[in-house]
Structures are given as structure tokens and as C-alpha cells.
Homo-oligomer: A and B are copies of this chain.
């Protein structure tokens, strides 16, 4: 590699290295569509190979690091992010057009810092390893680090899901794995800034030099080769469905865990009693959630279901007038804009009636008018595949059904989703129908909500940010919620008749921390 002053360096094995890249790219300011002046490399396979080698080497150290050391690194990094908040917010705002407040500065950055600190706590505590001890048989098992994890971050959370600072990153590191961060192409400068902070934190806390590495982009071919490489233990991917499925196919062929979060329309059912009882409140609640962040949330409620009834028109009219009146948010990139316009075209073509919006706004800004589409339950059932097209952004499809049975049939025709919500009245008039509806919906979603919009994803051990395929690639895991999300990056390992002084400390007779939960002879205990 030769030094090329105009190309931003990548982070390889603890060093910032400038590639003489054959191809480069830059991000754009979505509020003006103007290129931001930094140039980032499309890394070569030679670079990927060096990165994999360094990650593999770092893993030989990281998986045996004292949990307190990994925790110290995560805590140090969190503090550096806090101290650098102003700069990070500036850069991310420019690259994503997400508002500084209420969003980047006061919501997403604190969430990111909090996730890293929770991950540090979880690493230190070690309960995440789910130690199980059978004393009579002298068989003991727990989750151990799995191997280097490649993280492909999404465009919509430049901090909290960033490949080098977000949930997958925190979970993989806290479980003892190196991370190869692949920046999202829409916010490389934000990611680079995190890379600078993480490099400082690694150095300050004595981490192995290949623990966290950063590349910005590869060719599709090299990306697939990286995912298939045996030096890599697992992959965390959040993003577009097409690209995700191509990488998943590669990982599947070599039997490698590939945790993908791909797409979700997040159905919301408004039962008749709820609409009767509090129609205006529901309009307000829905619109706030639906337009939040210009609708660019994985859990954005994109499919509303209701039975034709006395309040249906009022509800729809209310949503339409608020969607029409609200300023359209700036989308994350021109590719998000293009993809949204394409999805709206597919829905329109299939027969959805456009009640407001429906097209790109004039001008250089990446923006589509707030859009409400409407169809009948019968239409939905005539082509469930097409009417589940995700319109990622500030658009919603309202499906008005003939009956509750028809709503259930629509739900049964859905693919897997991250979330599903049911709004019902508070006096019990919807209770009669709740059971069957919830039973059908529960099978299709990772998280079932009552009288609450899905866009808030609390960082709780009880959270499931996951769901049946294609919402995610495995129905048994969550991407949010520490320590639960760490299990994705663990390898179940059993020690059978292994001499006590050779066991990992978490499986020895004495509790390693005094507050590590372990299941000993069937009893969960701190003993």
C-alpha cells in the first residue's frame, strides 16, 4: 500500500493505513445532495485478507482476556464518545440529516453510550455466559467467545447501530470477540470519527491491536469472500434485504452464524372499540410514531389494519390531514429516496389508492411527500406478497378489512416481522376478539405490543428486537437488549470431567465475581 494523501485511511491492526485504492466513494449531505469532500477507499481483497489475519490473531488474545479488561475498554470508549459528542453530532447531522435534537445529541448518542456501558457491565458480571454446572456428573457448560465478528451497520442509526459503536459491536466485543467494522456507505465520516476514538481507547486500555478494525467498503465479490472466510466467526448485518440475503447465502454455505435484520412492515391493528373510544388520540399517537425520523426506523409502523366501521373514515381522514400538513423529513440518502419511490410505485401499481403524497418533492433535498396509501382487506389477500412491500420512509399503507376474521387472514398471510401492535379499548369491549387476533399476530412477530407504538426499542434484557424470517435470520435471538443480544456471538462449550484448575473461572466451584448467576444442579444461584 502506498500513501495517497487524498484518501482517508482505514484502521488495520491498530494502525491507520492509507490504501492506494482503485475505487473510492464519498458521502453526500442529503439536505443538499452535495458530496462531502472526504474520499473513502473501496478496499481490495489484499486489505480484507490483512484485516482477517489481524482479527484472527487478536482473537487468540481477546477470548482469554480478563472480563474486567474488556469492560474497561468499553467504558473508556463510552467516555470518549461522550466527550466528543459535539463533533460526532455535527458530522452525523451533515451526513444523515437526522436532527441534532430531538435525536442525535439527546437520544441516540446517550443510548449508544449507555449500550456500551451496559455491555461493559455484562462482560464484567459474566452471567451472560449462562453457566450451567452439573456437580454430580462433573459436566459444566457456558458460552465462550465465538470468533471475529464482521459487523455491517445500517444507514438509519449512525450512532446506536453503527458497525463500530452500536449494539452488534458492543455485544460482540463484550463476549470477547474482535470486530471488523464495515462502515455504512452513507455515513463514513461519522464512522471514521468513532474509529479514531476506538483506536485511542484500545491503546489506552491495552487491547490487542486487531480487536477493532475499520473498512469502509469492498466490492460485492470481496464482501462475500470476507463473509465466507474461515477466520471469521460470525456476521451481524442490518440493512437492505437484497444485499443481506446474498451475504447470508454465502455464510450459510460455510455453516457460519449470520445474524441479519432485513425488513419489517410492523403491522398495527386498531380494534373497533379503541377507535370508538379515543380516535383523536390514536391519530396523534400513530402520526408521531409513523413520521418519526421520516419513518426510517426498522420498527416503523408501516401497515395499519382496521375493520370498516363508524370511526374508520375519521381515523383515516385525521391521519391524511396530519400527514399532509407535516413537513416531510429529509431522507437519509438518495438511495433511500429512490427505494421509497420504487416501493410506492409497486403498491400503486398493485391498486393501492394514494390519499396524500406519493412522489418525490422537487429540489435537491432527499425527500418524498408524506404518503398515505389505502387498500381493502380483499385487495391485500389477493396479493399479500406485493402488499407487504416495505416502503422504508415516511409512508404508510392502511388496510380496511370487512371483518376481524379478514384481519386475521391478512395477518396469517404476513411474513415474519419485528413487531406487531394491537390497540383495544380500555373498557373491555375489544376483549372478546383480542385472543384469536393476538394468537395469530404473535406467531408472526418478535415483539407484541398493546396500546403502544413499536418505534421505541428499549435497551432491556427482556427486549426482543428480532423476529421470524425475513424480519431476522433466526427467530431465537435479539439484536437489542444486553446481555441477551450477546448470545448471538457465543459458542456453547461444555467441559466434561475437566480438572478444576483448568476450567474457565466462571465454571469453577467458587463464584468468580460473587454476583454471577449460574445454574448449579438445576438451581439459579449466586453461590
Contact = CB atoms under 8 A, between A and B. Distances in A.
Interface stretch (A42-50, A283-291, A357-365, A455-463): A455-463
B492 A460 contact: no
A478 interface: yes
Given A134-B460, A141-B462, A477-B492, A498 B468 contact: no
Contact of A497 (B248, B439, B449, B460): B449
Interface in A189-240: none
A442 interface: yes
A249 interface: yes
B137 A496 contact: no
A476 B449 contact: no
A502 interface: yes
Interface string A113-149: 0000000000000000000111001011101101100
Given A255-B473, A256-B469, A524-B517, A133 B495 contact: no
Interface string A245-278: 0001100111111000000000000000000000
Contacts of A439: 60, 64
B448 A496 contact: yes
A432 interface: no
A450 B139 contact: no
Contact of A492 (B143, B475, B502): B475
Given A524-B517, A524-B524, A493 B134 contact: no
A446 interface: yes
Interface stretch (A90-98, A324-332, A483-491): A483-491
A475 B458 CA distance: 28
Given A133-B462, A475-B146, A484-B132, A450 B492 contact: no
Contacts of A498: 448-450
Contacts of A257: 474-476
Residue from A254, A460, A490, A494 having most chain B Cβ neighbours under 10 A: A494
Copies, count: 2
A492 B451 CA distance: 21
A354 interface: no
A434 interface: yes
A454 B477 CA distance: 30
A522 interface: yes
Contacts of A140: 462
A187 interface: no
Interface string A41-81: 00000000000000000001000100000000000000000
Contact of A447 (B255, B449, B490, B496): B496
A64 B440 CA distance: 12
A316 interface: no
A448 to B, nearest CB: 6
A292 B120 CA distance: 47
A519 interface: yes
A434 B502 contact: yes
A253 B253 CA distance: 10
A497 B450 contact: yes
Given A461-B519, A474-B257, A450 B491 contact: no
A452 interface: yes
A492 B463 contact: no
Contacts of A470: 255
Given A463-B139, A502-B450, A491 B469 contact: no
A464 interface: yes
A167 interface: no
A438 interface: yes
A526 to B, nearest CB: 9
Nearest to A125: B522
B468 A491 contact: yes
A465 B254 CA distance: 20
Nearest to A507: B462
Contacts of A458: 134, 137, 139, 496
A466 interface: yes
Contacts of A473: 255
Can you list the 9 inter-chain pairs with the closest CB atoms, starting with the nearest? A255-B469, A524-B524, A464-B494, A252-B252, A447-B494, A134-B462, A139-B462, A132-B462, A452-B497
